[in-house]
Amino acid sequence: MSARPDLPPDAPSVTQTRPAPAESAGPPIGLNIAVALSAAGALLGGLAPLFAAVTPSMPPAFTSWPLLLVLALIPTALSAALLRRKPGVAAAVLLGPAVLAPGRFVQDMQLVVDASYAARPELLHADTLEPLAPAAGTWVLLAGHVLTTIAGALAVIAGGKLFDRTGGAAFGAADSDRARARKQGLLALVLCASVVASVGALMGPFTSADPYLLAKPAVDAPAAVGIGSLLLALALLTAAGVVAGSTDPDLVRGGLLGLAAALVAVAVPPLVAVAVLAQLQLGWGPVLVLLAAVALVGLAFPGGKSPERAAAEPRLPALTKLLTAAGALAVLSGALAIAGALTPHLQMPSYLDDPSPYPARLLLPGGVVLVLLGAGLLIRRKPTAPGSAIPTGSQDTANAQRAAAALRPALTVAWAMLPLGGAAALDAVLMATQLASAEARAGAWLSGAAMLLAMAAAVVAAVAGAVERDDVDLTEQDWRPSVAVPAAIAAVLSLGAVFLPVLTAPDYTPPGIFTEFSTSSWGLIATGAAALAALVLAPRCRPPRAVALLGGAALVMSVRVLEFPITSGRFEGAAPGLGLWFAIAAVLAIAVTAGFAARR
């Protein structure tokens, strides 16, 4: 070890040497056994369709065993390839499938309870209402999950001797802060991807016109499928947080790769079933799971870099560039939303009315707000040279710079104004194209693009916030009860505004999150999640940033309030629902919370 040059010779060193890598002695015997058990579990799970899953025998809807076998063997093959060179990564790869295996085991128990409600075309395709009893294929499949779980447990035991818990090499205080900031950023991104995958896991794998393949979301599914899906989602979130928060780069890289491989095995079979079976239609659940898996693979490589390499690499783009990018995306998103609100979404048959114009109108207020927020972030500033006198106009530009930076938190929340109307409009488009032979027009594509760009703008703005916090001393910042109490009240009111309908009418069932789940429900989820996140974070933020966050939440709830006057004209006898009053109360409560947050 060497002392820092700016310290006395007798001062204790702030650096430490990295322990000798454990892999030099070769992989532990327990890890070899874990890889072998993982291979056996993969073989059992992949070859299960070759055996009859139920009695009387009901073969799969398509030849699925090659696909299932390849998907099951991906983490095992990856772990075996890394066994000699990177045993730590090899051990971590096996954790992903093992973490998800218990949830998948409970899901597949539906084959034992009542296989006719399993909706697993890759395993069986029932064509009778007679009771189905579990057969050899079911027990082979369940045994594969058990072996996968045991393999993961052995990998944890073996990995305990391989993983470096010290966090790696020598750092000064500044480098430690930078490494901590990188770790926090990685953890946030991994958790975001995991939330997307968990939501996808709770959705139905597809929609079907086949009465024997009626897949449902977790809330409406049979008990085994619903409980298994919930266990899978919770296990994924927990494992992702633990892995991404680890100080060992091997555990981070291998763990994220293993989770990604396990998610691919969950998402691909229903997507293939939709592709080969005409009676099935695409469900968004597997798509979200697959996108999250891709994101985890992308995060695994930078997350698995050693602290020495991470500290030596360039930092994130400058704050000004990120604010400019976020502003440009926000302006473009808002412009597309305004265009989508004013452009037809559907070409309907002459004997039917277009159902999309009313929900599409909700895009207009969100589009205007995003254009204004983006324009504020795009304000250009000319820095003043150090030590020079500040000209008359320079103070104004400095104030403009602070104002532009203060708009950033609002954008991270206000983007959710678009999905509330955009998702409802797309829901009308999907239903009309499927049931009435209608054709989608430019408005539908503009609305979809606007929502995607709004989400991208929010992500870039969040990254800009991480860069901004690197240069700010937050040691004195703590939770403020004077803000937390009204924020909690506003959060309860906001959830009521999302869960309860704002509009009621005869013969109309409004979309919801736990009932009548549809594409519109995703707009409600985005609205509630954005408002809730802002209200949870505001008590911990600096006053200007807290006020901006709460302003964004108030804007999002305001769109929920506007939903009644803007869309009620499409129904005769429309009346305000309980959710409308909750939304109005939420806007007022958020405004009160912002008043408390503004106090220093």
Mean pLDDT, residues 178-182: 57
Rounded to whole angstroms, the Cα distance separating 120 from 106 reads 14
CA distances from 202 to 49, 107, 230, 285, 487 (A): 24, 12, 7, 7, 29
Sign of CA dihedral 406, 310, 250, 165: negative
> Is residue 58 a contact partner of residue 218, using CB atoms and an 8 Å limit?
no
Mean pLDDT, residues 479-497: 84
Q: Categorize the per-residue pLDDT at 485 as very low, low, confident or very high, splitting at 50, 70 and 90.
A: confident
> Is residue 456 a contact partner of residue 329, using CB atoms and an 8 Å limit?
yes
> Is residue 141 a contact partner of residue 45, using CB atoms and an 8 Å limit?
yes
Q: Which residues pair with 280 in a beta bridge?
A: 208
Sign of CA dihedral 153, 154, 157, 160: negative
Residue 380 has a pLDDT of: 55
CA nearest to 167, candidates 152, 148, 182: 182
Is the model's pLDDT at 367 over the cut of 70? Answer: yes
Mean pLDDT, residues 250-265: 90
Rounded to whole angstroms, the Cα distance separating 83 from 76 reads 10
Q: Categorize the per-residue pLDDT at 37 as very low, low, confident or very high, splitting at 50, 70 and 90.
A: very high
What whole-number percentage of the chain has pLDDT above 90? 12
Residue 97 has a pLDDT of: 92
Question: Phi-psi category of 86—alpha, beta or left, where left has phi over 0 and alpha has psi -120 to 50?
Answer: beta
Q: Which amino acid is at 197?
A: A
CA nearest to 248, candidates 140, 141, 88, 86: 88
Tell which wins on pLDDT, 304 or 367.
367
Which phi and psi (to 5°) does residue 264 adopt? Answer: -60, -40
Residues 6+ apart with CB under 8 A from 275: none
The listed range with the strongest mean pLDDT (173-187, 334-348, 512-526) is 334-348
Q: Which amino acid is at 58?
A: M
Is the model's pLDDT at 6 over the cut of 80? Answer: no
> Is residue 87 a contact partner of residue 31, using CB atoms and an 8 Å limit?
yes
Rounded to whole angstroms, the Cα distance separating 205 from 203 reads 6
Residue 444 has a pLDDT of: 81
CA nearest to 38, candidates 87, 74, 67, 2: 74
Q: Which residue is listed with tokens 């396990």?
A: 262
CA angle 141, 144, 148 (to 5 degrees): 145
Is the model's pLDDT at 508 over the cut of 80? Answer: no
Which phi and psi (to 5°) does residue 69 adopt? Answer: -65, -45
Q: Categorize the per-residue pLDDT at 70 as very low, low, confident or very high, splitting at 50, 70 and 90.
A: very high
CA angle 337, 282, 567 (to 5 degrees): 35
Rounded to whole angstroms, the Cα distance separating 328 from 73 reads 44
Residue 32 has a pLDDT of: 86
Residue 20 has a pLDDT of: 44
Is the model's pLDDT at 15 over the cut of 60? Answer: no
Is the model's pLDDT at 23 over the cut of 50? Answer: no
CA terminus-to-terminus distance, the chain? 45
Question: Around Cβ 350, how many Cβ atoms within 10 Å?
Answer: 4
Is the model's pLDDT at 467 over the cut of 90? Answer: no
Structure token digits, residue 182: 């990188």
Residue 377 has a pLDDT of: 85
Express each pLDDT in 137-156 by its tens digit. Answer: 899 999 999 999 999 988 88
Q: Categorize the per-residue pLDDT at 263 as very low, low, confident or very high, splitting at 50, 70 and 90.
A: very high
Average pLDDT, the chain: 78
Structure token digits, residue 436: 């009435």
Dump strand ranges (E) for 233-277.
none
> Is residue 421 a contact partner of residue 502, using CB atoms and an 8 Å limit?
no
> Is residue 499 a contact partner of residue 513, using CB atoms and an 8 Å limit?
yes
Mean pLDDT, residues 14-22: 43
> Is residue 374 a contact partner of residue 457, using CB atoms and an 8 Å limit?
yes
3-state SS of the chain: helix, strand, coil percent to 5? 70, 5, 30
CA distances from 482 to 457, 545, 587 (A): 31, 16, 18
- Global confidence as pTM: 0.55
Burial 242-269 (b: 16+ CB within 10 A, else e): ebbebebbbbbbbbbbbbbbbbbbbbbb
Residue 401: DSSP 8-state: H
Least confident segment among 16-30, 450-464, 503-517: 16-30
Residue 174 has a pLDDT of: 40
Residue 181 has a pLDDT of: 56
Instruction: Tally the residues of the chain.
Output: 600
Residues 6+ apart with CB under 8 A from 317: 467
Question: Around Cβ 207, how many Cβ atoms within 10 Å?
Answer: 17
CA distances from 489 to 29, 486, 541 (A): 55, 5, 18
Burial of 42: CB neighbours in 10 Å, binned 0-12, 13-18, 19+: buried
Express each pLDDT in 190-247 by its tens digit. Answer: 878 888 888 888 888 887 777 777 777 777 778 888 888 888 888 888 888 888 877 7
The listed range with the strongest mean pLDDT (160-174, 396-410, 470-484, 498-512) is 498-512
Q: Which amino acid is at 590?
A: I
Tell which wins on pLDDT, 174 or 525.
525
Residue 315 has a pLDDT of: 46
Q: What is the DSSP string of 201-215?
A: HHS-SEEES-TT---
> Is residue 446 a contact partner of residue 340, using CB atoms and an 8 Å limit?
yes
Express each pLDDT in 310-350 by its tens digit. Answer: 444 444 455 677 788 888 888 998 998 898 888 887 777 76
Burial 84-109 (b: 16+ CB within 10 A, else e): eebbbbbbbbbbbbbbbbbbbbbbbb
Structure token digits, residue 114: 């009542």
Q: Which amino acid is at 102?
A: P
Q: Categorize the per-residue pLDDT at 531 as very low, low, confident or very high, splitting at 50, 70 and 90.
A: confident
Rounded to whole angstroms, the Cα distance separating 90 from 572 reads 63
Is the model's pLDDT at 21 over the cut of 60? Answer: no
Mean pLDDT, residues 390-418: 66
CA distances from 430 to 251, 282, 441, 454, 519 (A): 43, 11, 12, 21, 9
Structure token digits, residue 213: 């393949």
Rounded to whole angstroms, the Cα distance separating 267 from 290 reads 6
Residue 306 has a pLDDT of: 53
Structure token digits, residue 340: 């989508």
